[in-house]
Amino acid sequence: MGAGSSKQKITSQDKAILDLKVQRDKLKQYQKKINVVVDKELELARRALSQGDKRKALLALKKKKYQEQLLEKTEEQLMTLEGMTQSIEYALVEKQVLEGLKHGNDVLKEIHKEMSVEDVERIMDDTADAIAYQNEIDELLSDKITAEDEEEILAELETLQKEELEAELPQVPQNPVVSKPTSVSLPEVPTHVPGRVENVGI
């Protein structure tokens, strides 16, 4: 079961990227082999010249040139593979971003369905009605309340504020207990100690 679920996770895009990377690795290995052949042909050309065999040296250099041309083509193919791999990977990222945007749009549509234009207008109307009703009450009360009533109301408000402030303050004991200092009686020092002979002037 685990193997089957893991196979299902591999998409065609993942397989395409994997194939491209495998081909890239093969081309890099082929490049290394070509570089070995190029170095070998160059060494043969030098050895042939040292032996005075110009024809053999020329043939080795021609083979070297052919291998270098193969190396250039391989480099071009590598660049093509790298570009294609990056394009596919970027397209996948772009696809994920688009899917995220699509999901966001779907969520917005659901929210708009839940809160339609009619609902918004109804809420605005209810709010406007509530404000108008409050204004009517304020005007009605302002007509009925005199200046003296206004002063009494303000005084009552101030009293309520003081009571609220006192309720928040910590309670102080009404009858604090004051501790009186206790007198300490010291022992009397005797003026005459038995057995002691006082000096008597002769």
Asked, for residue 176, whether it belongs to a domain, the answer is no
**pLDDT at residue 194 in the model:** 53
Q: Does the residue 88 lie in any domain?
A: yes
Instruction: Please provide the size of the chain in residues.
Output: 202
Residues 103, 25 within the same domain: yes
Classify residue 195: in a domain, yes or no. no
The predicted pLDDT at position 4 comes to: 47
Concatenated DSSP letters of the chain: -HHHHHHHH--HHHHHHHHHHHHHHHHHHHHHHHHHHHHHHHHHHHHHHHTT-HHHHHHHHHHHHHHHHHHHHHHHHHHHHHHHHHHHHHHHHHHHHHHHHHHHHHHHHHHHHHS-HHHHHHHHHHHHHHHHHHHHHHHHHHHH--HHHHHHHHHHHHHHHHHHHHHHSPPPPSSPPPPPPPP-PPPPPPS--TTPPPP---
pLDDT means per 10 residues in the chain (202 residues)?
A: 55 83 90 92 89 89 91 91 87 88 85 73 82 80 73 83 79 60 55 51 45
In order, the DSSP letters of 154-193 are HHHHHHHHHHHHHHHSPPPPSSPPPPPPPP-PPPPPPS--
Report if residue 58 sits inside a domain. Answer: yes
Tell me the CATH number at 79: 1.10.287.1060
Predicted pLDDT at 120 = 72
Q: What's the pLDDT score for residue 159?
A: 87
Q: Which pLDDT belongs to residue 40? A: 92
Q: In this structure, are 109 and 127 located in the same domain?
A: no
Domain count for the chain, please give it.
Answer: 2
Q: Report the pLDDT value the prediction gives residue 200, as an integer from 0 to 100.
A: 47
CA-wise closest residue to 31 among 83, 69, 88: 69
pTM for this one?
Answer: 0.43
**Do residues 16 and 107 share a domain?**
yes
Please report whether residue 63 resides in a domain: yes
Query: What confidence score (pLDDT) does residue 156 get?
Result: 85
Euclidean distance between CA atoms 1 and 133, whole angstroms = 69
Residue 127, domain extent: 117-166
**91 lies in the same domain as 160:** no
pLDDT score of 62: 92
